[in-house]
Structure formats: structure tokens, C-alpha cells
Amino acid sequence: MSKPRLTAATTALAVAVSTLAFTAVATVPVTTVANAADLAGPWTPVVDASALNNKVYSMLQNGNTVYVGGMFTSAGGSAAASYLASFDATNPSATWQPVTNAALAAGSGYTYVSSMARTGTDLYIGGRFAQGTLNNVAKVALGSGAATGLDGGTVAYNVSGNTERDVEEIAVIGNKVYVGGGFAGVSDGTGTVADTAGIAAWDTTTTNWGALDSGFADDANTAPNTNGMVAVANDLYIGGQFLGGKDGGTTIASKRVIAWSDATSTWSSMNGGFGQGLVASMANSTTGHVQGLFAAGNFTSSDATPTVTFNGLAKWNSVSAAWETISSPSGVSGGSAVIEAMAFDAAGDLYVGGNFTSAGGVSANNIAKWDGTSWSALTCGPINGVNDTVRAILPQSDGSLIIGGFFTNAGGDPLNKYVARYTPGATVNCASPSTGGGGGGPA
């Protein structure tokens, strides 16, 4: 199951390889979308947010530039910005910019950009997209705008009618670009296919694909899938839907979450993982109020004995080598009860986004903050959070957050559509306070 299928049905797309040069694109004029009352509140549009015509799946920031990937086919009125666009997060007069001079062409079924990672001056993007023979995963040179495919890209499973080959996550360790998703394997572009079972590594030095041992293990009726990854030093922590990692003919049992060593090329179990559901997001912090490695998704309990209830959020204890809760009650509930995004701000507070109505017992619509002691909603009453799934969170140096997702209303304002900015401490006029225990006031 690919990550977008947590809250939206999707189908598959094709794969191949290409090299394509891009030229500069004219700036798209911005339309004024906020009035004084809007700007006085904690939620405000980002650029011309209302000009995005469909969902946001991923965001990545490089300096002041925010790259936005999703299912939209227009940003700021430009069809050239289909599925991938950018804006300057620090410029109040910023406009939406296409990243390429031609829209990424639609693949079979739904088309979107769902993952991004940067190494040096290169931006790697993944998802379900096509442009000529450039499909699913590509490298974009941020200086020249040239884009290249990675050999033959990813190839599909055909398990119980599953023909997905999407790329859902990208992470970088040294010269390795790790790519995960719902694909069966990768192609060298000449017809030779390597079975990598939902995960693969692109070597930027040799420009070749490599497998992570024998990939993931899963049952005969479900294709393994990567939904979340985070790199910590030389280790890659991977979440998704699988039974473990395959070491040749041996399975390293670790359901839904596992560790891979880039240094030794070996799998390590993480106390057996989780008993059901999937892991949709991984995050790590070493400073501030909240520190450690976190896994999030829609899993409810551990697979170890004794069973621990998590409700979609768990912290790894490296000393005891076990997963643990961070609050009581734990995790999220309501809605689809899934966390799909995590991020840490400068103070080290943890923000979680997804599809839920409560976090740690506090009323919170699809986004909430954990400060190491208590949970908080983002504002309160009728302007509490957003009205649909949050897929990406980018903390800013000024203390604000840029949030992307499926929502069409943030803080009660329909002008905040698919992407919006939240400013803590701004004037709040709530008709009624948020409810629940554990510090349920506005963040």
C-alpha cells in the first residue's frame, strides 16, 4: 500500500529513463487572497495558496525556497507547475514558480510528486509522474534546471492485481540516495530488472542501482511498501508495510519498521516492530525539548511481549531496544487515526500531522504539538487545525509553520487551501476553548 492510499485511492504508473534540459520560466503573478482580518489571525495563506488546484503530498525547503509536490495541475494559474512548484518563504510578495519549463506528464491512474530529498545542488523527486521516458523518480539540478532519470527507474509488482511502481520516500546517506515505495524492483534501462522489493539505493558516484540485501519480506498476497524513512548518521530507519528485511533466504523479523546500516549493509530488527497497520512517517531529533527517534502511522500496538498500545506514535528507546509511548493517552484518535507527517521546530517541539481529531486526549484537528510534557492544538474552537489530512510540516526560523496537505480550510478560512502558514502567538479569537486534558490550549 502506497502512502497516498491512507486517505486517497490511487493506481499505478509507468517507468523509464531520460535526460531533459529545462529553461527559465516567467514568474506567475500573485493574486491577493488575504484581507486584514485574515492576516490578524494565526492562519494565513502562503503566496497565492488558493491557486493550487489539488492536494499537496510533500514539501522540502532549501534556504528560503520551498519546493511543493502533490497532485495539483496548476500553481498560480500556471499549468507548467503541474505536480511540482516552488516559492520564496521569506518574501511577502513571492509568487509561485514552476520548477520545470513543462509540466510533468501524467502516468497511468493518479499522478503526483510525493517525496523529495536534496544532496548538494541536486533535488531528487519521486512519486507517480511521467515526461517522455522520465518516470517516477528523477534528479533535478537546482542550478541549471536539467533533469535526469535514474536508469530505468522502478518496476511494478503484480500481486493480486497490484501494479504499483510509485516512489514514496527518498533519503540520502553519503553518496547513496535511498528510494522506497510500492515498486517491485528497479531497471537499468536496458531491460535488466533487479528485484529489490520496495526499497533500493542509487549510487551517485557509479550511477547504478543497488539492492538492500534482498529487500523486504511480506506475505504472498501483499506487496511490501515503504512509507517513511529517516537517515541518522550511517543508519537508515525505514517504516512501511512489510514483515521484515530479507537477508538472502532468511527474514530479519521486524514488522512495519526496520533499521538498515549503510556502513555494513545489514538489516537490524527493532524489537519486532508493530503488530498491525503501517508506519507512514519517521523522524529524529537530537536537541531541544523532544529528542529521539519516532515512528508514526496507524499502527495500534507493538509486536513484542508484553504488548504496548501506541495508537500511531512511538518512540525508540535505544538503551532498552524497545518502542515506548510518550504520553497517556498515547497517540491519536478520531478520523482515520493516522499520523503522516512529523517535524521538529527550533525549540525541539514535535509537530505531528495526519488525519485525526484528537492527540493525547486533546481536541486537535489533523495537526498537534508535543512539547515533551503536554499536547496542544493549533488554536482552538472552530479555528482548531485544518479540515483534512496534513502531509507535510516545515518549521520556519521565525517560529511559524508552513503546512501542506489535502485540506481546503485552515483555521476556519477557506483561503488557506492545500498549503498555509501557522504563526504561534498571533491574535486568537476562539468562540470556544479546545477541550481535553494534557494542556489543550492553543500552541
What's the pLDDT band for 433 if we cut at 50, 70, 90?
very low
Given this model, what pLDDT does residue 221 score?
Answer: 67
* Whole-number Å distance between alpha carbons of 297 and 178: 20
Q: Across all residues in the chain, what is the average pLDDT?
A: 83
Neighbours of 21 (CB within 10 A): 12
Given this model, what pLDDT does residue 428 score?
Answer: 56
Average pLDDT over residues 252-274: 97
Domain contains 163: yes
Given this model, what pLDDT does residue 351 score?
Answer: 98
Domain contains 434: no
Total structural domains within the chain: 1
Domain contains 5: no
Given this model, what pLDDT does residue 100 score?
Answer: 72
Residue 14 has pLDDT above 50, yes or no: no
Domain contains 157: yes
Give whole-number Cα distances, 142 to 120, 128, 340, in Å: 9, 21, 27
Residue 215's domain comprises 16-422
Position with higher pLDDT, 7 vs 261: 261
Domain contains 332: yes
Domain contains 121: yes
Given this model, what pLDDT does residue 26 score?
Answer: 31
Task: Specify the length of the chain in residues.
Answer: 443
Q: Are 381 and 320 in contact, with CB atoms under 8 Å apart?
A: no
Residue 40 has pLDDT above 50, yes or no: no
What's the pLDDT band for 78 if we cut at 50, 70, 90?
confident
pLDDT digits (tens, 9 = 90+) for 123-176: 999 998 877 667 789 998 887 777 888 988 887 765 445 566 799 999 999 999
CATH number of residue 300's parent domain: 2.130.10.10
Domain contains 428: no
Given this model, what pLDDT does residue 21 score?
Answer: 32
* Whole-number Å distance between alpha carbons of 295 and 302: 12
Q: What does the angle CA 401 – CA 406 – CA 411 come to, to the nearest 5 degrees?
A: 50
